[in-house]
Chain A
Amino acid sequence: MKLSAQWIREFVDVPVDNGRLAEDLTSIGIAVEGISGEGANTVFEMEIGTNRPDAMNHYGVAREAAAFYGIALKPIETSGAKAPRESESGNAALKRSSTQNPAAEAGSHSGSRSGTAGAAPSRSTSSAGSGFAIVIDDKDGCARYTAQIVRGVKIANSPEHLASRLALVDQRAINNAADASNYTLWEMGHPTHAFDLDLLQGGKIVVRRARDGETLKTLDGVDRKLSSEDLIIADANRPVALAGVMGGFDTMITDKTKNILIESAWFDPVAVRKTAKRHGLHTDASHRFERGADYGATSLACALVSQRIMESGGGELEGSQIDAVAREIDQAPVVLRISQVHRMLGSKLETHQILAILKRLGFELVPEPGAQPEFSVQIPSWRLDIEREIDLIEEVARLHGYNNFANTLPSFSGGVVENPETAKAAKARSTLLALGYNEAVSLSFVSNEDAETFSSTPVVELANPLSEEASLMRGSLLPGMLEMVAFNLNRGTDYVRLFEMGDIYEGSGFGTAEHARICFAATASALNRDMPQGGVLDKSKGEAGLDLFRSIKGDVERVLDAFEHNTLQYDDKSSEYYEPGRSARVLVNGAPLAQFGLLHPQVVTRRKLRQDVYVAEINAEELYKHSLRLIRYEPLPKYPGVERDFSFLFPDKVTFDQIEKAVQGLVITELRSFGPVEIFRGGSVLAGSYSILLRAKFQSHDRTLREDEVNDWTARIVSEMQKLGGTQRA
């Protein structure tokens, strides 16, 4: 929002330059985010919080400046006619230069009107001498409707000084009537609207909800179907405006307009917001009404608009303002306890300082009887945001200056609660980092197609997704992972190792569930590059798949081994997006914990991945149910170990798992390790079988092993291998 510095200064004699003014305003929360232009053309780029509609205009900002500097705010001069009651005494008050807040003066009369509203509980009707009637049918939606008829106006361009001011705050000049309304909005904040009086049918304005089937063409030229919840302005026959949002096309001011009805009303924030939202409209008027306009300002705004119209377009007022009041806006006094100011702010502000701040902001304070200092605080009509004691405390803090409060540290009671999963996730993460995987973070959304391919659980669908490709919450980390891998491969980065730790989302009936997962991926290039020379088992020519698979398997095992678990079991029931025979599932106590392996060629093709990709998915939620492995020291061996190699031919159906189990079955306590060293297929090895070189290491904790006992164990191992169908090679 842009405001003109010079325009602000029209209402307050700011004792500092524009740069300093901007800083000072910012320090009290009336934020000036930027300054452009120079001299009379200086423009402040403002950022005003949603709770401060009163400051979304020049007069409102001037009011804040006056409060900050403790100087007088000038009244807005108007010679226009006022509502009958105000015209008796209010006009004079408005012109008093000592009056800090003219709108408040207008508002302060509202008390005397309560009888009017009370007399017309369901419907408020007012009319001036002209016989034009204002009917407020919906008093929830419209508390007050002030109108003024101006006759004999010549519609023309606005005078230069007015148009250029509007231009300064990014407003386009239209004609003198529309500009008068807009100028007043930017000057003192109250939205108004000008109708072509002669196009209003039946000599009356009705504020009511729309009827089903009614339509309205708004100023933007859009034909709108109205709903029975829309708050509208109607004449005797039809809707003529969306109340507080936008006027109607058919009753707008044109070159031909001669007679004008000015609307200056107070509409209910929720009613305006709902209407605006329903029609996808956001206007300067709706922005202010939604946030709460000044109930006491309708008459002043109406007078200012009519005055400006007449200044440039001539004409004359017909009678005085018609002021229909359906209900009073109740701004009950708020009790302020000085003790609470101290409790919240922690600073011993003196009572007189507190009172001075609030008075400068337009609050009236009346001391309450009692032992502790307490005040009954009357809220000015433009501050609909102040309803509670804490709101007043904030005002005190704001004007005192946040940075003038001393920094302190609280003394705490109570202890610290450790989340056990934090340490587990940290361990898994540091393991993956050490294994060379780069940590990645991908977006939470996936497409329908990805969900079908990679998720086995019901999906979570968004009502208003950013795009069709991002319409679901991820049910798996894998789609995001593959997208990132592809991103790298497409940019010539072949060596990719990535991991992501995060939640996936599952739809469960009416609710949802979130589950922790770990996913990592490595390209074949990366696995090959990082393959330790001694780690290569498969000596067959042109067949690297076995060791690449073992490589990703080892990484899975590294992560899982940080946790206490029984022996891991592997089976081949991995998901369909893995290549069968080159992927596996890991189970602990029969429950699946992870799956990993080579990505299915179809997925590789569909994803346009330029090389083989190995991936692993770990159910972190399940993993974290296991405690972290307790580390216990095992005494180091004092006696030398003995190694023995065995070379066997096995039929393909014999797995290493079988070989290992057979050897374990021998229960040789001195067998320290047993594993494969080389595997070979093809060449001299018959099809359907493979050659494997196995190595056993024997070692004792209490003695040097004798040749004969090692020979005995070796023979027993050979015998077991032969039982499995193995043939020992020379």
Chain B
Amino acid sequence: MAYTVPKLKDFSPAALDGAVAELLSALEEESAQPGNADARKAFRDRWLARKDGILTQINELWLKAAPKDAKRDVGQRVNKLKAEVEQKVEAALEKKPAASADTSLDISLPGIRRPIGAEHPIIRTMNEIVGVFKNLGYSVAEGPVIETDYYNFEALNFPPNHPARDTQDTLFLANQETKPRREQLLLRTHTSPVQIRTMEKMRPPVRIVIPGKVHRNDPPDASHSPMFHQVEGLAVDTNITFGDLKGTLDHAMKALFGSSAKTAFRPSFFPFTEPSAEMYVSCFICGGSGKRGSDPCRPCKQTGWIEILGCGMVDPNVFEFVKHNGYDPEKVSGFAFGMGIDRIAMLKYGLDDLQLFFQGDVRFLEQFG
């Protein structure tokens, strides 16, 4: 039989002692009982609820009902009792309820996962890289995928009939034969045309980062795709040096791959930069050791270095094409760089097949959620 607060007739100290003892013993008994969350809430409400909790009832049935001469004594006792009850109830609630097979849940069951979409690993990587340069004060520039020969080659110092054009297997648009060569349309083979387009629109200084899609006539296989992504950068001002190029890219790599990342540069050739360089970053898979545990590190071919981008000082011949807009190669200098995002994402996430990026396989994409 559950405890109920008795109406008191006898307000003598002895009777009050008895009533208090009875109440506390009931509390003790109920505190000891195990309970799930619902039971615990009920227990708390029964004792402490403002509306009709046992403490409230004490107020009503004991204090308010007490004759005038006993009020002071009853008041003190009730106050003391209230404090004690509150403290004991809270203490009881703080105690871990004893586990009980019939009321507790199997917390090992899997959680309900509401579906969330995953960013595409290439777009995610591209955004990360663009973000680094935005933080350095670069503006984002974009340009068309279908370009003219002029922007994709000529103004980037690829003369007509130059073998350097062979290094970029170009996809051309049909029915262009009647146009002058520089107006013939093709799918841009790199994001570099946006350098020219930006310099035509903006006088120096300029510093831009250019994310985008590019295409080449490469049949798809594990490491090739006719479509891929690049991020390009360009900085032109009156004072830009080769050391600035190196310092900027070194900083960017540390921002992307952690402060222990190291960079190394070696000479290369691109028609639109001179001096030109390839940049290597210490392998972000093995940390530059060339080993993963006792196994050889495959991504860096055990060298500890990964070739990550091409860069260089803007070739004066490129500036000649936009000289009218303030780009006198005797007065300004600049650097440019470009990197393939797909390959970086492949290395970063350990893919061995580039095609996975373009199949839309949900089992693959969900891993990037």
Residues of A within 8 A of B (CB): 26-29, 31, 49-52, 269-270, 273-274, 290-291, 343-347, 388, 390-391, 393-394, 397-398, 402-403, 405-414, 416-419, 422, 432-445, 460-466, 470, 473, 481, 483-485, 487-488, 491, 493, 495-499, 502-503, 505, 510-512, 514, 526, 529-530
Given A343-B241, A419-B139, A433-B116; A464-B362 close (CB under 8 Å): no
Q: Which residues of B contact A345 (CB under 8 A)?
A: 241-243, 275
- Of B179, B248, B360, which one neighbours A409 at CB under 8 angstroms? B248
Which of A419, A465, A514 interacts with B145 by CB under 8 Å? Answer: A514
Q: Is there contact, CB below 8 Å, between B277 and A402?
A: yes
A-B contact pairs, 9 of them (CB 8 A): A291-B163, A414-B237, A418-B139, A432-B117, A445-B226, A487-B361, A488-B361, A498-B360, A505-B145
Q: Is the CB of B176 within 8 A of A439?
A: no
Chain A residues contacting B369 (CB-CB under 8 Å) are 438
Contact between chains at B246 and A393 (CB < 8 Å): no
A51 and B269 form a contact (CB under 8 A) = yes
> For residue A28, which residues in chain B have a CB less than 8 angstroms away from its CB?
267
| Cβ–Cβ contact B117 & A344, under 8 A | no
Could you tell me if B244 and A442 are in contact, using CB atoms closer than 8 angstroms? no
Question: Would you call B321 an interface residue if the criterion is a C-beta within 8 Å of the partner chain's C-beta atoms?
Answer: no
Top 8 closest A-B pairs, CB basis? A346-B241, A484-B360, A29-B267, A49-B269, A407-B247, A436-B115, A433-B117, A346-B243
> Which one, B53-61, B62-70, B101-109, B212-220, is touching chain A?
B212-220
Rounded to whole angstroms, the CA-CA distance of A2 and B275 in the bound complex is 26
Residues from chain A with Cβ under 8 Å of B190 in the complex: none
Nearest CB on B from A562, distance (A): 15
Tell me the minimal C-beta distance from A496 to chain B in angstroms: 6
A408, B247: Cβ atoms closer than 8 Å: yes
- Point out the residues of chain A lying under 8 angstroms from B226, CB to CB: 443, 445, 466, 470
Complex Cα spacing A28 to B265, Å:
10
Q: Which residues of A contact B164 (CB under 8 A)?
A: 50-51
Per-residue A-contact encoding for B328-365, CB less than 8 Å = 1, 0 else:
00000100000000000000000000000111111101
Chain B residues whose C-beta falls within 8 Å of the C-beta of A346 in the assembled complex? 241-244
Please state if B123 and A439 are interface contacts (CB–CB under 8 Å): yes
Within 8 Å CB of B122, what residues of A? 441
Contact assessment for A443 and B227 in the assembled complex, using a CB-CB cutoff below 8 Å: yes
Contact A461–B360 (Cβ < 8 Å): no
Q: Which residues of B contact A (CB under 8 A)?
A: 114-120, 122-123, 134, 137-142, 144-146, 161, 163-164, 166-167, 171-176, 179, 185, 187, 202, 205-207, 213, 215, 217, 219-220, 225-227, 235, 237, 239-244, 246-248, 250-251, 264-269, 274-277, 313, 315-316, 333, 357-363, 365-366, 369
* Cβ–Cβ contact A412 & B137, under 8 A: yes
**Contact between chains at A393 and B275 (CB < 8 Å):** yes
A161–B195 Cα gap in the complex (Å)? 52
* Known interface pairs A419-B142, A462-B171, A484-B359; A434-B267 also in contact (CB < 8 Å): no
Question: In terms of DSSP, what is the predominant structure of the interface of chain B?
Answer: mixed
Contact partners of B119 in chain A: CB under 8 A: 433, 439
Within the complex, the shortest CB–CB distance from A29 to chain B, in Å, comes to 3
* Chain B residue at minimum C-beta to C-beta distance from A399: B267
Complex Cα gap A346–B243 (Å): 6
Bound Cα distance from A50 to B166, whole angstroms: 10
Contact of A406 with B362 in the complex, beta carbons under 8 Å: no
Is there an interface contact between A439 and B171, defined as CB atoms closer than 8 Å?
Answer: no
Known interface pairs A49-B269, A343-B333, A505-B145; A438-B242 also in contact (CB < 8 Å) = no
Contact with B360, one of A49, A416, A487, A512 (Cβ below 8 angstroms): A487
A409 to B243, CA, bound (A): 8
Complex contacts, B220 vs chain A, CB 8 Å: 466
Contact yes or no, A462 B120, CB < 8 A: no
Contact between chains at A52 and B185 (CB < 8 Å):
no
Chain A minimum-CB-distance residue to B265: A402
Closest residue of A by beta carbon distance from B215: A444
A463 lies within 8 A of B172 (CB): yes
Kindly provide the distance from the CB of A160 to the nearest chain B CB, expressed in whole angstroms. 35
Is B144 touching A514 in the complex (CB atoms < 8 A)?
yes
Which residues on the A side are within 8 Å of B363 (C-beta)?
Answer: 491, 493
Residue in A closest to B115 when the chains form the complex, CB atoms: A436
Judge whether A406 and B205 touch: CB under 8 Å.
Answer: no
Q: Once the chains bind, are A514 and B146 in contact (CB under 8 Å)? A: yes
Q: A417-B139, A436-B117 are in contact. Are A442 and B247 (CB under 8 A)?
A: no
Contacts of A497 in B (CB 8 A): 115, 117, 362
Indicate if the CB atoms of B360 and A273 lie closer than 8 Å: no
Report whether B276 and A405 are in contact in the complex, using a CB–CB cutoff of 8 Å.
no
Q: Assess A50 versus B163: contact at CB under 8 Å? Given A344-B333, A433-B119, A434-B116.
A: yes
Asked if A443 and B241 sit within 8 Å, CB to CB, the answer is: no
Complex CA–CA separation, A529 to B114 (angstroms): 10
B248: chain A residues within 8 A (beta carbon): 409-410
Residues of B within 8 A of A512 (CB): 144, 146, 173, 185
Q: Nearest Cβ in chain B — how far from A219, in angstroms? A: 22
Inter-chain CA distance A292–B239, complex, in Å, is 34
Say how far A499's CB is from chain B's closest CB, in angstroms.
Answer: 7
- For A410, give its contact among B145, B187, B235, B269 (CB under 8 Å): B235
- Distance to closest chain A CB from B46 (angstroms): 29
Contacts of B142 in A (CB 8 A): 419
Q: How far does the alpha carbon of A388 sit from the alpha carbon of B274 in the complex, in Å?
A: 11
- List chain A residues, Cβ under 8 A from B167: 50
B274 and A414 within 8 A (CB): no
Query: Cβ of B227 and Cβ of A488 under 8 Å apart?
Result: no
Cα distance A514–B250 in the bound complex, in angstroms: 35
Given known contacts A346-B243, A438-B118, A485-B360, is B173 in contact with A394 (CB within 8 Å)? Answer: no
A624 to B271, CA, bound (A): 37
Evaluate contact between A461 and B268: CB separation under 8 angstroms: no
CB distance from A401 to the nearest CB of B (A): 9
**Most-contacted residue by chain B among A270, A409, A483 (CB, 10 A):** A409
Closest A residue, CB atoms, query B247: A407
Determine the chain B residues whose CB is within 8 A of the CB of A438 once the complex forms: 117-118, 120, 360, 362, 365-366, 369
Q: How distant is the Cα of A27 from the Cα of B264 in the complex, in angstroms?
A: 10
